[in-house]
Amino acid sequence: MSRPLLELRGVAKGYERRPAPVLAAIDLQIAEGEFSAIVGCSGAGKTTLVSLIAGLTTPDRGEIRFAGEPIDGPSTDRAVVFQNYSLLPWLSVLGNVRLAVEASAPSLDRRQAVTKAERFIDLVKQSRGGRLKGPEKTLFSGEYWTGAKAIELGLADGIGDLSSTLRERFGEDVVTPLISAGRGWFGRVQPGVDTAHLAGLPRAADFAEEAISALEARALWARYGL
């Protein structure tokens, strides 16, 4: 029998505020290419088990091996996709922001990535000043704070619709025109919008729609002698 790719032997894990261990005497073997699902109610220890396998935390007892080698920390061989945006607790605020910069711009070297991360943090601090109310690890977690939460953290000043806010700031004469789809020479919505579907027409009308589109296109190209 071949050696399992992932193996857990007698793994146990507990937390100080819980009287009973979250995991106890866990034995598990997963072969290469095998798909496994961990099922359990909330608080059963699924996230704890996955975090142990990823090397994000260590077991109180037992051993975890990957490809025959003991797991003693995070590695590119194993990864976790969190349910929500999450910070890496062993990194600083700057380190977490730099990680996002490096992921989006892998061509940057470390110094360039740090500079961009610092510039982003400084930009937010300068633009919001003393209005920022939350801890840095919350403000720069990578989440998009909107609505009431953004106001609570000092990242936004208020909530309002575009027209009302513009009139309040710049006066009642502000006009916000609606931009709708343009129409072709025959009064139809320009190609790219399924007008038959929007008008509730039967699909049998598609042939006529396509014929008119062809005429419009030919007339347009004719303007350039083509």
Which residues on adjacent β-strands are paired with residue 205? none
Kindly list the distances between the CA atom of residue 47 and the CA atoms of 52, 68, 132, 151, in Å, as whole numbers in the listed order.
9, 23, 32, 32
Q: Are 41 and 102 a contacting pair, CB within 8 Å?
A: no
| CA distance linking residue 132 with residue 207, whole number of Å | 59
Q: What pLDDT, on a 0 to 100 scale, did the predictor assign at position 187?
A: 53
Q: Are 7 and 65 a contacting pair, CB within 8 Å?
A: yes
Q: What pLDDT, on a 0 to 100 scale, did the predictor assign at position 39?
A: 85
Residues recorded for the chain:
226
Structure tokens at 29: 């073997």
Q: What pLDDT, on a 0 to 100 scale, did the predictor assign at position 127?
A: 83
CATH number assigned to the domain covering 6-70: 3.40.50.300
Q: What pLDDT, on a 0 to 100 scale, did the predictor assign at position 204?
A: 47
DSSP secondary structure, 106-155, as one string: TTS-HHHHHHHHHHHHHHHHHHHGGG--S-HHHHTSS----HHHHHHHTS
Q: What is the pTM of this model?
A: 0.42
Q: What is the mean pLDDT of each run of 10 residues along the chain (226 residues)?
A: 85 83 90 87 87 89 92 83 69 77 78 84 83 79 72 82 81 73 51 43 52 63 56
Locate the domains of the chain by residue range. 6-70, 84-179, 181-226
Q: What pLDDT, on a 0 to 100 scale, did the predictor assign at position 6?
A: 93
Q: What pLDDT, on a 0 to 100 scale, did the predictor assign at position 63?
A: 94
Q: What pLDDT, on a 0 to 100 scale, did the predictor assign at position 143?
A: 66
Q: What pLDDT, on a 0 to 100 scale, did the predictor assign at position 144?
A: 64
Q: What pLDDT, on a 0 to 100 scale, did the predictor assign at position 196?
A: 43
| CA distance linking residue 90 with residue 210, whole number of Å | 59
